Chains A and B, each alone.
Chain A
Amino acid sequence: MTQETVSEKPPLDRDSLRDVIDLSLWAGQMLLQHGADTDRVEHTVHLIGTSLGAEWLDILVSPNALVVTTISGDEFRTKVRRVVTLGVNLAVVCAINDLSYRISWGEVDRAAARVELVSISNLLHNYNRWVVILMVGLACAALSRLFGGDWAVFLVTLVASGSAMFVRQEMVRRHFNPFIIVVVTAFVAGAVASSASIFRLSPQPQIALAAAVLLLVPGVHLINSFQDMIRGHMVTGLVRGFTGAVISMCIALGLLLAMQLLNVGGL
């Protein structure tokens, strides 16, 4: 990018430029951590940086790091930040999106942006954990109805995915490896859902098995993977797709383990 044109923006000194890069990188990091696609990360970081006074930003989104260079006048600074993908939290994505627009309208300056980013990073969950368990259980049970299950399958799926969600929350709190969490959660879901088959509660007990593990399906990873690839971000797209495939493999592993231990066939 050549900077031939004369910019209207006053050149920033090194300290302000550091502030700008710090804030925009922080916003980008939180977006990438909580399930935004690559295009959104790039646009938001660019918008925040240029609105806070930098002339230009170049951004490299890699699957587990962000590299940003800010340019202002004759100065430029570059910073790398490692990003560890956490669970999906769309409230954070919404809050940062909102903040980026308010920054671009000039309503928020650098100091206020820092305060807001601190409060976004401490954002609490909107829903009580028991509400999450109930809703996730209901969601999987609803999907079992869509697969053609009867009411017995519905109830078994509700209990199975609800208890699996409980186990998942407990394991996430204890910082287990994410893939191990998926295997164990799928095992729990499969073991509870096997009761439909063991006690002959329904003519199609395998639907409960298939539906109970759907809470683990890496929907956001897989959707984002293809979203990234459509927009030309091949590297992040491939990595997200592969992560999704590995998670699916872990689901199958946990489920297979439960089915073989309890000697339940079908699927």
Chain B
Amino acid sequence: MNLLVILQDLLWSGIAAIGFAVLFNVPPKTLIPCFICGASGHAFRTILMELGMSITVGTLAGASMVGLLGAYFARRYETPSLVFAICGAIPMVPGAFAFRAMLGVIRISQATPAAGEPILMEAAINFINTGLILAAIALGIAMPTLLFRRRKPVV
């Protein structure tokens, strides 16, 4: 895999991260770290997937990277880590999977029982992938708190 592909991946996922950061109205000083979180997390996932890992495991690793970077930036910029974690994870959110699953559900309504089986399977596969990738993202970005800030629940 060549360097150019990785650089493009970094650039586009970083732009996606700050685009959504602007939509979510983050403080302007956090835009650059959001770019770094989004770019490195997604590019890391792409590299791992090129090496043969599944998208779920790749997402878990990428999101953990976003989480760790977010924890670092949270301290440096005195901003809650959730800002970096959410904006950084956005490029990895399985949006296409999610609405393909829903599109499949809508299509099932028009199918006959005999011909509907592949549509049902496709919808199910997309749905399961959406769930797994989201769980991987949530687990990944929560990784620093789950590992290093274990505490007795106060509430």
Contact = CB atoms under 8 A, between A and B. Distances in A.
Q: Is the interface of B mostly helix, strand, loop or mixed?
A: helix
A108 interface: no
Interface stretch (A14-22, A139-147, A196-204): A139-147
B16 A255 contact: no
Given A94-B26, A125-B25, A220-B24, 15 more contacts: A43-B155, A46-B154, A59-B155, A137-B19, A139-B15, A143-B16, A146-B12, A211-B96, A219-B93, A223-B85, A223-B141, A230-B138, A252-B99, A256-B103, A267-B100
Interface in B67-110: 78-80, 82-83, 85-87, 89-91, 93, 95-96, 98-103, 105-106
Contacts of B12: 142-143, 145-146
Contacts of B120: none
A59 B16 CA distance: 36
Given A91-B25, A127-B25, A145-B8, A222 B98 contact: yes
B55 to A, nearest CB: 13
The interface size bin for chain B is: 35 or more
Given A93-B82, A127-B25, A226-B138, A219 B89 contact: yes
B86 A90 contact: yes
Contacts of A136: 19-20, 22-23
A204 B125 CA distance: 23
A222 B26 contact: no
